[in-house]
Structures are given as structure tokens and as C-alpha cells.
Amino acid sequence: MKAILLLALLCLAVASANYAGFKVVRAYLENEKQIAEVGTWELDVWSRESTLGIGWNDIVVNDNHMVELLKLEVPFDILIDDVEEHLAEGQRDLEQSRSDKDAMLADFFIAYHTYDEYVAYYTNITTAFSTIAKFTPSIGTSIQGRNIFAVTITGTATGTKKKIFVSGGQHAREWIAPATTAYLITQLVTLYGSNAAVKTLLDTTIFQFAPLVNPDGYAYTWTGSANRLWRKNRRANTGGTYGVDLNRNWNDHWGGQGSSHTPSSDTYCGTAAFSEPESTAVSKFVLANGPFAGAIDYHSYSQLILRPYGWTNALPPNDARAKTVGDTIRARILAVNNVAYTSQPSWQLYYTTGSAQDWYYGQANVPLSYTIELRDTGTYGFQLPAAQIKPTGAENWAGFLYFAQSV
């Protein structure tokens, strides 16, 4: 069996939400024999270096899996010694950061927020800055009927303006992504009246944000620590499984390598391209409001700035410029907190098909399209502490400001 098919098995989610006895290890798979064996274990893959499996893979394992890794001579490091305790620690951090309601009202970025709190926040901030910001309550609804909202920001100057699109929160468990898109929106609207660079930018640019693309999955991750690591949307699939990976559902080389046709898989691509109302709604919004000069889709984790393509190792015609912009985003991020991101083509991380980034570039004709994987590199993984929201936002604001000025 080819390695690409074996990875489809490797990407299958842990069947149970019970993580007792599980750890997260960074395993260094070196050959197809190792991939073939590990691929039969149906593990939850949190992050990885390559779709082919050669290289490091952050995987959720139990003690029996670790014994087998040793038999296979697979070197590995333990990133998280107890996933159940890791989830409990994340829950404690969540409760502590949200315990002071007055402090949360004074500073939105000291804690993570629910779907309803995001709706209220965007309603309030766009009302407060109504001359430059507009909240669109719904550009479409999710599989469970929640609104997918959008925010538009532009300065008061008239004339022809370039357009930039930003999305976040396609993967439910990646809470830092919608938190960071909220941070960027807040910086744009609050600095317009006092920062010359932001005023110039907004007077020449229209920003369109879809800050939380997967509202059902996101809401589900708030229903208890056992569900905190949910990734997909909440479609009821055949066989009693749930969810489609929205970032494998876009109509650009849909259904190929890097995605799965197995409904239980965390990378399940759905029954067809744009089978899901969430990806369909955002794609229609992009086409209706473009053309866009640039686009970013925010995710976590791994600290990466990824550019097309994900589906092939061929380079797009504008790769030289895209590399320069991506490398400079990296440099601007690094200068803030000395946190290093890596700039590279998506396929060098792993092959993906049906991704938003490639659709923005290949189908919506967005010249500069990126996926940015936010903090961290595995210490906390998807449960980045609330104390890191503001530093993550600050460093990415620097990168985003450069990106918006340069496209």
C-alpha cells in the first residue's frame, strides 16, 4: 500500500473522547515500514511534518503504542505526558481567566470567548466605530443553524481601494485563531484615529473578515473538556460519526492526497466539494465581495507561514513574490517577541487538497494567499493559555500590518 493511503489511516481520530492513559508524542517516522504499522493504529494526529509520514508526527498514543514504537525503533519525544490532565489544566486556565467578569469586560483579550460572546463583541465594537466598521450578522448558516458572521472595515476616504480577506476558526479546537482575528480587527478600528500608518492603510483598503467559520464545532469544544479537542464541523455522517474537515472541503483539487474519505477521520473531506454550508457560505462571500489582493486563513498550531500550493510541489507563477512577503511577515513577527515562525510552501509541511488557501489563490484569483499557523510548537498545542492571546495577537498584528501594506 502506498504511503499516502497509509496516512489516511494515521489521520483517523481517536474513536473515544476518553483520553485517560493517553500521551502526545513527537514520533520521527523514518521509513514506510514504520508508517505502515503506525497507520493501523487509527491515531489522532495533532501536527506533522509531512503527509507521507516521513519526519515528525505529533500523535496521541497510549502505553501500548509507545511499546510498539520502541519495537519499531521509532524515536520519539513525549510532548504531553497525560492528555487527560492536560485537558483538565486547560479547563482550569479557562475558568481562572474568565473568573473576573469585570476584567473581561475591560480587556477582551485576557480570556477566550464563546461564540455568543464574539457575536456581542463584534456587534458592540462595530457600533462604537460605525463610521469605519460594519457587522454582518450572517453570510450563511452552519449545519446546525448558527450564523456565520462577517466584519467589514475601511476608512472614510473615497476612491478605488484594494481588498483583503481574512478567515479564521475553520478548525474548532484552534481557539487562538478566532482570538487573533478579533485582535486584528480591534487594532484596525481603534488605531484608525491615532496611528498614521493605520489611517493610510484603511483609507486605501477594504478589509473583509470571516472570523469564526466553524461556529458549531467551536461551540461544541465549549461543552466540556472531553470535547475540547474536536476539530471538524458537526455534520452527522453515516455510521454514527460526526463532522467534516472544512479545510479539506473547498473546491480546489478536492478529495486528493492529504484528505480522507473516511467519515471518522479528522481530515474527512465530505461527500463532495462544498458539501458543507460553512465552506460554501464563505466561498460565496469571497466571490461576491472580491476581487481580493490578499488573503490569510488563521489556524494553529506550529508557528508557520504557509503559501500555495498544498496539493503539489510545483511552484505557482508568483512564488518568488509570495516567498518574499511570507519571509518578511516572519521577520516582522519575530521582531515583536522573538518568537520564530517558519515561512515555506504548504506542501513542504504536508500535502493538502481542498484547502481554503489554495482555493483563494487558485479559484478566487487572490494573488497572495497564506495559511498562518499560530502559537505554539507543541508544549500546549491546541490549549494555548489565555495569557498568550495578547502576545500572539501583538506579533501577528506586526506581520499582518506589513502584509496589508504590501499586497
Residues known to be catalytic: 373
| Residue 322, CA atoms < 13 Å, CB-side half-sphere | 25
**Grid cell 473547498 in the structure block, residue:** 250
Phi, psi of 28 (to 5 degrees): -105, 90
Whole-number Å distance between alpha carbons of 9 and 275? 22
Torsion, Cα 197 203 205 208, to 10 degrees, reads: 100
Whole-number Å distance between alpha carbons of 150 and 173? 20
Whole-number Å distance between alpha carbons of 383 and 17? 16
Phi, psi of 59 (to 5 degrees): -130, 150
Amino acid 54 reads I
Phi, psi of 46 (to 5 degrees): -85, -40
C-alpha cell at 109: 483579550
C-alpha cell at 112: 477566550
**Grid cell 478567515 in the structure block, residue:** 167
Which residues 6+ apart lie within 8 Å of 352 measured at CB?
51, 247, 248, 258, 259, 310, 311, 346, 358
- How far, in Å, are 143, 190, 272, 366 from residue 352 at the CA level? 24, 37, 16, 18
Q: Buried b / exposed e across 198-216, counting CB within 10 Å, b at 16+?
A: bbebbbbbbbbbbbbbbbb
